[in-house]
Amino acid sequence: MRAARLHEYHQRLKLDDVDEPKAVGPFDVVVKIGAAGLCRTDLHIQEGQWAEKSQVSLPYTPGHENAGWVHEVGSAVTNVEVGDTVIVHPFISCGLCLPCRRGDDMHCVTGSFPGINRDGGFAELLQTSARSVVKLDPSLDPKDIAALADAGLTAIHAVKKAIPVLVPGTRAVVIGAGGLGHIGIQCLKTLTATEIIVVDPSEPALELARELGADHTIKVEGKRHIDAVQELTDGLGAEAIIDFVGENGAVEDGISMIQDGGFYYVIGYGQNIDIPTIDVISREISFIGNLVGTYVDLQDLMTLTAQGRVTLHTTTYPLDAINDAMNDLDQGRLQGRGILVPAGAG
C-alpha cells in the first residue's frame, strides 16, 4: 500500500509502497484510512523535536489523527465489524493497568502512539486496537471528522480541565485560533459561560473565531494584544490562558495576560516556560500540562459534534500532496485543519 514516510529528519516525506498491516493479535483492528489530519506536531517530528522522546526508527509513517472504515478485525473484537465507519483514538492503551482502569488512557503504562512511535495514518491502512475505535454513524464522511481525533480531542481535554475555573464573570484568553484553537473556542462556548477573548496574528483566523462565538478578538501585533486584554480585564488579566501555540513568544505574552490566582493551560509547544518562582508564588499562578485526551474525551466530542455544538473547518489535500500541505501549515496559509485523503478513499 501507499504511505508517506519520513526517511530523514529535516527532509520531506516520501511516498513509498509498503506492506499492508494485518490484524495479528485478538484485539487488533486494521482501519482503511478515509482521512488523516495534519498537525503542527508533524512539523515538529520532521524537525526532529520528537526523535529522542519517541525513539522511533526511520523510515516510518507519521499521521496520528485518523478516521475511516474497519478493514480487518482480530479474533476477539466485538465492538466493531468490517465496514463500520470509525474515528480512531490516537493512542493504543492496554485497558488493564491502573491508569487505564482510572479512565486515564493517555498514561497507560504500556501504550503506543501510531504516528509518533510506530506507523501512523499517512497511508492507506492503519493498525490499531479495539480499544481505540469509536463506531460512528455510517453517513459520516471521515474527512469531515478526522480532525476531531487529535486537534479536537486535545482542545476538549484542556477545556474540560478549565471548566471549574471558568465560572460566570471570568475571562479566558485563547492564544491561537487555528486547527486546535477553533475547536477550543467552540468547546469553551458550549461548556462554560466564560467571556472568550481570542488573540491571533491572522485576520481570517480572527474572523473564524468571531463566527464561532468569540466575545472579543484581538490581532497579535507587538504587545498591543496584551494591552487590549489588560484593558478588557480592568488591568487584572484573565483567569485562564489557553495556549494553543506555545512558541514565537506566546508563553511570555500569556504570562503577561494572566490574572493573579489564574491558570495557564499549556497545549501548543516549542519554546520554554521560564518564570521566576517568586512570581509563581506571589501571584499564585499555575501551569497545567495537557497531553491529547482520553477515549471519554473523544466520545464527549463526538457527542457535541453530533449535536451541532462543534463544527470543523478544514482544508483537504490528496495524500500525495502531503509536502504541500506541510508547507502551507508551516507558512500559516492553512485555514482550520489540513486533511489528507488517500486516493480511492470514500
Residue ranges in 178-217 that form contacts with its own copies under rule CB under 8 A: 190-193, 195
Selected binder of its own copies within 15, 18, 140, 296 (CB under 8 A): 296
Closest to its own copies by CB, 227 or 279: 279
Name the residue nearer to its own copies (CB basis): 48 or 204.
48
Stretches 104-112, 202-210, 328-336, 337-345: which one binds its own copies (CB under 8 A)? 104-112
> Which residues 6+ apart lie within 8 Å of 298 measured at CB?
87, 89, 134, 148, 149, 153
Stretch that binds its own copies, among 1-9, 31-39, 44-52, 177-185 (CB under 8 A): 44-52
Total of chain residues touching its own copies, rule CB under 8 A: 73
Q: How many residues does the chain have?
A: 346
Q: Of 204, 303, 318, 332, which lies in the binding site for its own copies, with binding defined by CB under 8 A?
A: 303
The reply on whether position 266 binds its own copies by CB under 8 A is yes
Asked if 99 interacts with its own copies (CB under 8 A), we say yes
Choices 5-13, 29-37, 174-182, 290-298 (CB under 8 A): range interacting with its own copies: 290-298
Whether cis (ω within 30° of 0) applies to the bond prior to 114 is no
Q: Does 24 bind its own copies (CB under 8 A)?
A: no
- Contact between 139 and its own copies (CB under 8 A)? no
CB of 57 to its own copies, least distance (A): 19
Instruction: For residue 341, give the nearest of 144, 87, 150, 48 by alpha carbon.
Output: 144
Name which of 203, 200, 177, 204 is nearest 188 in CA terms: 177
Query: Based on CB atoms, which residue is closest to its own copies, 271 or 315?
Result: 271
In angstroms, what is the minimal distance from the CB of 342 to its own copies? 28
DSSP state of 210: H
Is 43 a residue that touches its own copies (CB under 8 A)?
no
Is residue 270 close enough to count as binding its own copies by CB under 8 A?
yes
307 binds its own copies (CB under 8 A): yes
Q: Does 103 bind its own copies (CB under 8 A)?
A: yes
Question: CB under 8 Å to 267, separation ≥6 — which residues?
Answer: 154, 155, 158, 180, 184, 242, 243, 244, 246, 290
Sign of CA dihedral 11, 18, 123, 343: positive
∠297-176-284 over CA atoms, to 5°?
Answer: 75
One of 7, 249, 291, 333 touching its own copies (CB under 8 A): 291
Closest to its own copies by CB, 26 or 346: 26
3-state secondary structure 81-94: CCCCEEEECCCECC
91 contributes a contact to its own copies by CB under 8 A: no
Q: Are 187 and 242 in contact (CB under 8 A)?
A: no
All three cell numbers of 70: 474497519
Nearer to its own copies, 220 or 245 (CB): 245
Name the residue nearer to its own copies (CB basis): 236 or 321: 236
Binds its own copies by CB under 8 A, chosen from 283, 311, 323, 330: 283
C-alpha 294/C-alpha 300 separation (Å) is: 10
* 240 contributes a contact to its own copies by CB under 8 A: no
The Cα 51–Cα 153 span in angstroms is: 23
Is the Cβ of residue 75 or residue 139 nearer to its own copies in the bound state? 75
Could you tell me if residue 7 is left (phi over 0), alpha (psi between -120 and 50 degrees) or otherwise beta?
Answer: alpha
**Would the CA dihedral through 80, 85, 87, 88 be positive or negative?**
positive
With CA atoms as reference, report the closest residue to 90 among 121, 113, 61. 113
Pick from 2, 18, 79, 316: which binds its own copies (CB under 8 A)? 79
Picking from 265, 255, 274, the residue whose alpha carbon sits closest to that of residue 293 is 265
278 scored as a contact of its own copies (CB under 8 A) = yes
Name which of residues 220 to 239 contact its own copies (CB under 8 A).
none
